Chains A and B, each alone.
Chain A
Amino acid sequence: MIIGIPQSRAFKWSYRAYVTLFFIYLALPLATVCAFAFNDSVFPSLPWEGFTWDWFFGTEAPYIGVFHESPILRSLVTSGVVAFWVSVLAVFVGTCNAFLFVRHEFRGKAILYVLMLLPLIIPGIILGISILVFSSSVANFLEDATGLWFDGLRPGLILVVLGQFSFITTFATLVISARLQKFDPSLEEAALNLGATHWGAVREVTLPFLYPAMAAAGVVAVLMSFENFNTTLMLVGSDAPLTITMYDRLKLGSTPVLNAVSLLLIVVSALLGLVSLLLQKRKD
């Protein structure tokens, strides 16, 4: 905080007004989405027809709430399954990568590190189509060669998981590496001196030190997987995750049930985001 610098009163106030306006701009779309989840009207728009919980708990058409709307609930489960696998895979590979890049020196490390960062600069939609093209040609080749079916390589949940995993792993690697760099190697050496095996020392000393970062990476992976759209759009089959289902509804124009889903998503993702921050900030 800078003190002791003279600034005109008008400047100070206009600066403050600008900052206030900015935060209104940030909050406005989300606040609007939330507010219309409670509007007693079949369209998410004005006029305000009164307060209702129907878009959450309603059971009679057209007032069918989120908790009774089976397509949305089904896609929520699909999203959950996808997020689970993406998160498990990304944390596993991310942890291996962290050990590889922090602990080992080898030829080509710099190149491999840049390659590891590449998924960050590839637009999601291109990541999606490249995996789509590649897996389809592999599937065609295998089917021609063996005469069997390889449905796993056709658009569907397996490809969605792989597509999201392909770039979320980079984030997991960065989060876990940052923590591993802070680890004091002498702790591991002490364990070795006390007779631990190499793997035993890693498992009993290093990995517990990494748990908060691994958990944070897992939470970030779940968040990113849940809200991913671009990559998923290109790889999705018949089982659509939540964002795809909502997008299809949005194009058709829908009831405020979408607002209700959005409100739940905002609350859950804000909570998950805070959890991941707390996990990364934790000091010990």
Chain B
Amino acid sequence: MATDRSKLAFWLLLAPCLIWLVTLIILPHVGMFLVSLREKVGVREYETSFANYAVFLNEPLYWNTFARTAYMSIAATVLTLFIGFPISYYIAKLTRGRTKTTLFLMCLIPFWVSELVRTFGWMILLRETGVFSNVLQYLGLAAGPVEMLYNDAAIMTGLVYTSMLFMVVPLVTALDSLDDSLIEAGYDLGASGFAILREIIIPHAMPGIVSGCIVVFMLSLGNYLTPILLGGKDSLWFTGLIYSQFITRFNWELGSAFGFLLLGLSSFIVFVGLKLTGQSLGKTMAQS
């Protein structure tokens, strides 16, 4: 009787989870994969083939954009790590009490705000009639209006800004758990600051570094707003291609193939990152 009831409870709990995952995650992705294998041969007539993937390989614009999106995302990830690490160390190890909470909250707030608003802020700052351009002219450092929007540096600034939090939070968590006395022992034994960083701090923070990097990379790769708005028409971001195939050109077959390539790249990097450091997805995600 009791086991029957607990079995019923189990199935009742399992049902929502399965309905959610099957209808909104698994089936749509299987469906998208099948659509990406469809080649249009006539009106409402399709054949199964890899034609859409061949289009991707044969068109330099497409795979150049793909590669560009990948290496720009890697660059954004590395930059975010290098900028964020000293900040996380400062928050975790050099402050305490109320200052620590305040600094941490100040890192959180920009993330709660919509990405659109953050990007809008950068547009006002960087554009030709923007704040930076005016300040430079006022200081006499520029003769006329300077356009700082619509280039790779602008995209990079926006990407790093948008994903900073996802680096800082896991890093602070990881560094918080490092016992201060280990660092002090290192000093007492005569190690240089750099040696302590390399031998004690970085190895300890590795789980945080990995989960931060994975999340930042995925977010940059899948970002649409920042590259399109800060990079302009020539931003050449892969998500932009997916959007135009789906919404502008109405070529869902090619769009699905692109979507799958992006998903494949993103999953591959996550997989490699986890394997290289011997961590599991569950643990990494729980960190962030």
Contact = CB atoms under 8 A, between A and B. Distances in A.
Interface string B159-190: 00100100000000000000010011001000
A143 to B, nearest CB: 14
B21 A29 contact: no
A250 interface: yes
A5 B89 CA distance: 15
B161 A118 contact: no
A165 B24 contact: yes
B32 A19 contact: no
B124 interface: yes
B16 A5 contact: no
B28 A229 contact: no
B129 A46 contact: yes
Interface string A131-163: 111110100000000000000000000000011
Contacts of A81: none
A118 to B, nearest CB: 6
Interface string A81-96: 0000000000011001
A195 interface: no
Contact of A33 (B109, B115, B121): B121
A5 B182 CA distance: 12
Size bracket of the B interface: 35 or more
Nearest to A155: B247
Contact of A133 (B31, B123, B164): B31
B25 A166 contact: yes
Interface in B77-133: 83, 86-87, 90, 93-96, 103, 105-110, 112-118, 120-125, 127, 129-131
B16 A30 contact: no
A119 B26 CA distance: 10
A21 to B, nearest CB: 10
A273 B114 CA distance: 12
A26 B164 contact: yes
Contacts of A44: 124
Nearest to B118: A29
B17 interface: yes
B239 interface: yes
Interface stretch (B48-56, B60-68, B202-210, B262-270): B262-270
A130 B112 contact: no
Nearest to A117: B285
A226 B114 contact: yes
A227 interface: yes
B266 A137 contact: no
A124 B222 contact: yes
Given A121-B267, A250-B229, A133 B28 contact: yes
B263 A266 contact: no
A96 B17 contact: yes
A169 to B, nearest CB: 6
A26 B110 contact: yes
A100 B12 CA distance: 9
Given A22-B83, A26-B106, A45 B124 contact: yes
Interface stretch (A50-58, A66-74, A106-114, A204-212): A106-114
Given A45-B129, A46-B131, A227-B116, A130 B218 contact: no
7 contacts: A106-B14, A130-B29, A162-B24, A174-B285, A230-B225, A234-B243, A250-B229
Interface of B: 5, 9-10, 12-14, 16-17, 20-21, 24-29, 31-32, 35, 83, 86-87, 90, 93-96, 103, 105-110, 112-118, 120-125, 127, 129-131, 134, 161, 164, 180, 183-184, 187, 193, 214, 218, 221-225, 229, 239, 242-243, 246-247, 252, 255-256, 259, 262-263, 266-267, 270, 281-282, 285-286
Given A19-B87, A250-B123, A265-B114, 5 more contacts: A1-B180, A2-B180, A6-B187, A46-B130, A169-B20
